[in-house]
Amino acid sequence: MNDILQILIYGMVLGSVLSMGAIGVSMIFGILRFAHFAHGDFMTLGAYIGLTFIGVMGLSPWFALPAAMVGMAVVAVVIDQLLYRRIRRTQPVILLISSFGMALILRSLIQLIWGSENQTYASGIQFPWRLDVLGGLRIKPDHVWIVLISLGLVAGVHLFLTRTRMGKAMRAMSDNMDLALVSGIPAERVIIVTWIIGGALAAAAGVFLGIDTRLHPVMGWTTLLPVFAAAILGGIGRPYGAIVGGMIIGISMEMSTLFISAAYKPAVAFAIMVMMLIFRPQGIFKGTL
């Protein structure tokens, strides 16, 4: 029982990371109509931007988060304006190839700038809190913060999407592109805001992953498959679904270590995704297929 609770906590931490990535993937898919394959490497780049910021300033790891989010939002908009905007007018699937190329460009840039070794935000061991009430359950303060901050960010995205004009415009474009365009929604501005949110949340995912484990140039790429699985599970183009999807995938992946080799964790995400594609491709929350 204790083990299961412990693993549940790890699952929720992973789930928070995946949700942060999946919301961005889901929004980009909804508004720009393509699967953004560079999203994993956005996460990685965000994590490294945070690392440099706290390294230069000599701050605690948590300061990496805002720096990474702001930095990555800017990078995402720059990439869109320099590259994706030029090919947006052709088929969306060309953007898919381009983003796949962008994934490799970003990763090699990260290797060139920061090297290929593992890096960490803070050295030393963090002592977990022991909860004797729950039979000696151990909880790391970092893990609590990761889950709480993700919930806060999700609430922020929710308020933005439901309470602001821009948020409404984004939902409208995701629901029915043509109708949104003829009713005078400024498409270019909506797209830029999409990249700002997507980039910032990807950076948050990267920083969380870096705090929980370590920084490595392929950390984001290896997380991309579960992120896509979470987005599909929740229903693509549905940010709220992405959170549910992220949590389900994250918890399932960690729980699976009770039964099968940990090497096959990504296979669990893949299996859930394939089941979903067979039986309910529109996702739990009926996304825009």
Partner 1 sequence: MEFASLFAYLVSFLTFAGIYAVLAMGLNTQWGFTGQFNIGIAGFFAVGAYTSAILTTPESPAYLGGLGMPFLVGLVGATLASALIGLVIGRITAKLRTDYLAIATIGIAEMIRLFIKNEDWLTNGVRGIAGIERPFAGTPLDSPFGYLLVVVAFVVLVYFLLERAYASPWGRVLRAIRENEPATAAAGKSIARFRLQAFVLGAAIMGLGGGLYAHFFGFLSPEAFMPLYGTFLVWVMLIAGGSGNNRGAILGAVVVWGVWTLTELATDLLPTEYATQAAALRVLLIGVLLQVILVTRPQGILPEKPPKLIARKK
What residues make contact with partner 1 under the rule CB under 8 A? 29, 34-35, 37, 83, 86-87, 90, 93-94, 96-98, 100-102, 104-105, 107-109, 111-112, 115-116, 221, 224-225, 228-229, 232, 261, 263-264, 266-267, 270, 273-274, 277-278, 281, 289
State the nearest-atom distance from the C-beta of 236 to partner 1, in Å.
Answer: 8
Tokens of 204: 């948050």
CA 114 to chain centre: 22
Packed helices 64-79 and 39-57: angle between N→C axes, nearest 10 degrees: 130
In the complex with partner 1, the residue whose CB is nearer, 122 or 274, is 274
State the nearest-atom distance from the C-beta of 101 to partner 1, in Å.
Answer: 4
State the nearest-atom distance from the C-beta of 57 to partner 1, in Å.
Answer: 26
In the complex with partner 1, the residue whose CB is nearer, 97 or 122, is 97
State the nearest-atom distance from the C-beta of 79 to partner 1, in Å.
Answer: 10
DSSP per-residue string spanning 143-187:
HHHHHHHHHHHHHHHHHHHHHSHHHHHHHHHHH-HHHHHHTT--H
SS3 assignment for 113-148: HHCCCCECCCCCCCCCEEECCCCCEEECHHHHHHHH
**Measured between alpha carbons, how far is 63 from 183 in angstroms, rounded to an integer?**
41
State the nearest-atom distance from the C-beta of 232 to partner 1, in Å.
Answer: 7
In the complex with partner 1, the residue whose CB is nearer, 160 or 270, is 270
Please give the angle made by the CA atoms of 26, 31 and 36, to the nearest 5 degrees: 50
Give the three-state DSSP class for 90.
coil
In the complex with partner 1, the residue whose CB is nearer, 66 or 266, is 266
State the nearest-atom distance from the C-beta of 253 to partner 1, in Å.
Answer: 13
DSSP per-residue string spanning 230-286:
HHHHH-TT-HHHHHHHHHHHHHHHHHGGGTS-GGGHHHHHHHHHHHHHHH-TTTTTT
**199, 73 Cβ separation under 8 angstroms:** yes
In the complex with partner 1, the residue whose CB is nearer, 105 or 147, is 105
In the complex with partner 1, the residue whose CB is nearer, 109 or 177, is 109
The partner residues of 215 in beta bridges, in order of sequence, read 119
In the complex with partner 1, the residue whose CB is nearer, 136 or 281, is 281
In the complex with partner 1, the residue whose CB is nearer, 88 or 140, is 88
State the nearest-atom distance from the C-beta of 175 to partner 1, in Å.
Answer: 17
Q: Which residue has the tokens 């949590």?
A: 247
Tokens of 238: 């549905």
State the nearest-atom distance from the C-beta of 97 to partner 1, in Å.
Answer: 7
